[in-house]
């Protein structure tokens, strides 16, 4: 069987594995349609690439596909230990650094098409990558949940390329020593959101049709530990792992909330510290004709960690990864 060539990196601590060759040929005109085909027909491939024994639960995969627009650099589908992601900013930073490592791009700006829209990524002279993300917005404010084993929790629902429930006032300590506890509480909040039928809702601007989405990321915020940051977060990802980086789509959701509350002005920086002490800097710009959204730009670094061929032995009982029920 053909090996799958991958290049690994981490963006501020959060790993990305870009599939460079050996990926499936997907059906569909758009990246969104290709992502649906990937979900429907290639779940084995997803697990093979990111799950144990070749990967691990924190790993995010990136499959490069034909873009929607031929002038874009590439299309990209992000996936993790349980499925596909709508979008991923740390992954986009990882893809940019990987493309540069491969000699495919130089310093400069490139459009990448994702299932939820195009993003503009800039690889700077300093090696940092800035990602102008998809339009982001807050959908619900002050949602109160009764969470089993935790008590009442108040938070906001926001879209930043993925759906987030953002909690400020929780009384938890955001420390690496408490990660298991934080994870358990965040998972319980996810269950409470599902039990309460609280969803993210996308409304088609032309047809008015609404689609409902699981809120599969939970974020806790607190005062920063580092003096050069504005806030610290803990982010639960859909597959139960926590984000080692400050989570770029999560920071986009946070910026949408800060903008809606009048706590951060157009173009002002917000430095977000992650649970492990790494940083992303976020800014937003307003869109005159769409006051309900902001356009966030997230800046951070990524570093190459490996260049590998994944071998698929037909006799390997875990050829397609370890399936957990």
Minimum CB–partner distance for residue 317 and ligand PYC (Å): 30
In 151-301, at which residue ranges do the beta strands (DSSP E only) sit? 151-159, 163-167, 200-203, 210-213, 217-222, 231-236, 270-273, 279-286, 294-300
Residue nearer to ligand PYC on the CB measure, 9 or 162? 162
SS3 for 209-228, per residue? CEEEECCCEEEEEECCCCCC
- Paired with 154 in beta bridges are 144
Residue 83: C-alpha distances to residues 111, 222, 286 (Å): 24, 29, 32
Query: Which candidate in 51, 88, 229, 257 is catalytic?
Result: 88
d(CA 231, CA 272): 5
Minimum CB–partner distance for residue 189 and ligand PYC (Å): 17
Minimum CB–partner distance for residue 238 and ligand PYC (Å): 8
229 given a catalytic annotation:
no
d(CA 56, CA 58): 6
Query: Which candidate in 51, 229, 237, 247 is catalytic?
Result: 247
88 given a catalytic annotation:
yes
Residue nearer to ligand PYC on the CB measure, 148 or 215? 215
Residue pair 28/37 in contact (Cβ under 8 Å)? The answer is yes
Residue nearer to ligand PYC on the CB measure, 127 or 151? 127
Residue pair 218/236 in contact (Cβ under 8 Å)? The answer is yes
Residues that bind ligand PYC (CB under 6 A): 14, 60, 85, 88-90, 162, 237, 243, 245, 247-249
Residue nearer to ligand PYC on the CB measure, 22 or 240? 240
- Return the C-alpha torsion angle 298, 304, 307, 312, nearest 10: -50
Minimum CB–partner distance for residue 199 and ligand PYC (Å): 19
Active site residues: 88, 247
């Amino acid at each position: 069987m053909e090996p799958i060539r991958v290049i690994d990196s981490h963006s501020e601590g959060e790993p990305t594995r870009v599939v460079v060759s050996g990926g499936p040929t997907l059906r569909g005109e758009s990246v969104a349609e290709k992502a649906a085909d990937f979900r429907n027909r290639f779940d084995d491939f997803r697990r093979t690439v990111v799950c144990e024994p070749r990967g691990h639960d924190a790993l995010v995969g990136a499959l490069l596909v034909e873009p929607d627009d031929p002038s874009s650099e590439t299309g990209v589908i992000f996936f993790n230990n349980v499925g596909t992601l709508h979008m991923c900013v740390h992954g986009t930073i990882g893809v940019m650094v990987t493309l540069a490592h491969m000699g495919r791009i130089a310093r400069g700006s490139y459009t990448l098409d994702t299932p939820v829209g195009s993003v503009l990524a800039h690889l700077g002279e300093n090696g940092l990558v800035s990602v102008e993300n998809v339009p982001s917005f807050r959908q619900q404010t002050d949602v109160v949940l009764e969470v089993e084993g935790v008590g009442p929790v108040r938070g906001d629902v926001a879209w930043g390329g993925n759906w987030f429930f953002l909690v400020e006032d929780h009384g938890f300590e955001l420390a690496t020593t408490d990660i298991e506890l934080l994870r358990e509480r965040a998972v319980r909040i996810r269950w409470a959101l599902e039990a309460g039928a609280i969803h993210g809702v996308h409304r088609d601007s032309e047809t008015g049709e609404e689609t409902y989405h699981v809120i599969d990321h939970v974020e806790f915020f607190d005062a920063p530990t580092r003096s050069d940051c504005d806030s610290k977060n803990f982010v639960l990802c859909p597959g139960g792992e926590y984000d080692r980086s400050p989570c770029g789509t999560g920071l986009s959701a946070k910026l949408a909330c800060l903008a809606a509350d009048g706590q951060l002005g157009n173009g002002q920086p917000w430095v977000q510290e992650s649970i492990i002490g790494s940083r992303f800097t976020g800014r937003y710009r307003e869109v005159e004709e769409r006051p309900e959204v902001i356009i966030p730009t997230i800046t951070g670094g990524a570093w190459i960690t490996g260049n590998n061929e994944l071998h698929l032995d037909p006799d390997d009982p875990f050829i397609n990864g370890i399936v957990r029920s």
